Amino acid sequence: MKLYDGGRAPNPRRVRIFFAEKGIDLPELVPIDITAKEHKSEAFTRLNPAQRLPVLVLDDGTALAETMAICRYLESLHPQPALFGQDAKAQALIEMWNRRVELGLFAAVAAIFRHGHPSMAELEDQVPEWAQANRDSLDDHLWLLELQLASNPFLCGETFSVADITAAIAIDFMKPARVQLPEDFVHIRRWHGEIAARPSWTA
Amino acid sequence: MKLYDGGRAPNPRRVRIFFAEKGIDLPELVPIDITAKEHKSEAFTRLNPAQRLPVLVLDDGTALAETMAICRYLESLHPQPALFGQDAKAQALIEMWNRRVELGLFAAVAAIFRHGHPSMAELEDQVPEWAQANRDSLDDHLWLLELQLASNPFLCGETFSVADITAAIAIDFMKPARVQLPEDFVHIRRWHGEIAARPSWTA
């Protein structure tokens, strides 16, 4: 296998952290320089017509894109520790929280970064009004997380899951997006500190 | 089980179609009137703090939200026909295409509808610039689908999957969003005609 990697960008990090949490060695990495628009090159577009990172190329040549598709594939090959849940109900609740965060907080922070950060003007047709709308709604997404973490050590209860990776990466992503986590989100702060202290987090 | 349902809205439809494709009877339906903002009521917010439809309430009282979490749970209970794929690689490719469509075409059409349709002004803090940006990029998402369907009967090859439901619902959603599918997307037209003729499509 080969992993086409995008360095510090949030989705490549999610996949490398997933490998680390599984205790699997990373495959050969092929670095793709997003700031140099290498992900929009003809060669990379043939690999992933959606022009997004990361991409895992399997030994038979299949190019597997989309962070969660790659993580699910790794879970199939290496079921333990189960990061997508052990039984049908746990799996469903982890999928629910992972999607709530991806389509909520993660998408909002990404919109603020892509449509609001000066360095992204080269890569995106920026809509500053969309960045602002997401800044305005960010607290709603954070409250959803805060309430859940008030009564759960991890996002889906007693066990670390892929939903914690997604959510904690979204919090990390607030720094380049230049938005602060307000002091009063004490449960998010407690949980994020614990996640960021895991050995996987430097992957 | 009980299914909190939202009528003609795209996500409730995806779940009802999924039930029909599995050959499972729908559970008791609880209709929630989105235009009357019932999904923002205190009672519904207790069930799903993200205030989105549909929600499947399990017999033990667990409220399962998020369309794909509900569909995956049904797949666990009723594995055949496998709409998420039979083996690890097929499952990964279906997940890849389902997400490409959800985060691409489906999200774009939803943005055009939510931020551009006069009837949504009551329900959303509309950002008309965001609706327009998504109108401008819609063809890019459609081309990704068109190229894949040029050489595949279904989105992920020879077999109907949950990715076809997501993508064909996104095409259906173009009508209320008031955007046309251009005539030259002939493969999308062929495939959408076949999907819309399936008995499940009236669910």
Of all residues in chain B, the one with the smallest CA distance to A95 is B69
Domain segments of chain B: what residues? 2-77, 88-202
A50 interaction partners in chain B (CB closer than 8 Å): 100, 104, 144
pLDDT at B7 over 90: no
Of B66, B99, B144, the CB nearest to A95: B66
Looking at residue B123, its pLDDT comes to 87
CA distance A128 to A162: 31
Looking at residue A117, its pLDDT comes to 96
CB contact under 8 A, B76 and A64: no
Averaged pLDDT score across all residues of chain A? 97
CB contact under 8 A, B64 and A144: no
Of B88, B125, B137, the CB nearest to A77: B88
A95 interaction partners in chain B (CB closer than 8 Å): 66, 68-69, 72
Hey, is the C-beta of B62 within 8 angstroms of any chain A C-beta? yes
Nearest alpha carbon to residue B6 among B56, B46, B72, B42: B56
Hey, is the C-beta of B50 within 8 angstroms of any chain A C-beta? yes
Of B70, B72, B100, the CB nearest to A66: B100
Looking at residue A175, its pLDDT comes to 97
Of A73, A129, A136, the CB nearest to B88: A73
Tell me: the pLDDT tens digits for B37-48? 999 999 999 999
- Its CATH class, for the domain covering B88-202, is mainly alpha
Looking at residue B73, its pLDDT comes to 98
Tell me: the pLDDT tens digits for A143-193? 999 999 999 999 999 999 999 999 999 999 999 999 999 999 999 999 999
Q: How sure is the predictor about A68, in pLDDT bands with cuts at 50, 70 and 90? A: very high
pLDDT at B177 over 90: yes
Return the CATH number of B2-77, one of 3.40.30.10, 3.40.1080.20, 3.40.140.10, 2.60.40.1120: 3.40.30.10
Could you give the strand order of the β-sheet that contains B2-5, starting from the edge strand earlier in sequence?
A: B28-31, B2-5, B55-57, B63-65
Q: How sure is the predictor about B60, in pLDDT bands with cuts at 50, 70 and 90? A: very high
Nearest alpha carbon to residue B109 among B156, B165, B175, B164: B175
pLDDT at B150 over 90: yes
- Say if residues A76 and A66 touch (Cβ distance below 8 Å): no
Looking at residue B79, its pLDDT comes to 97
A136 interaction partners in chain B (CB closer than 8 Å): 125
Query: Do the domains A88-202 and A2-77 match in fold?
Result: no
Tell me: the pLDDT tens digits for B130-140? 999 999 999 99
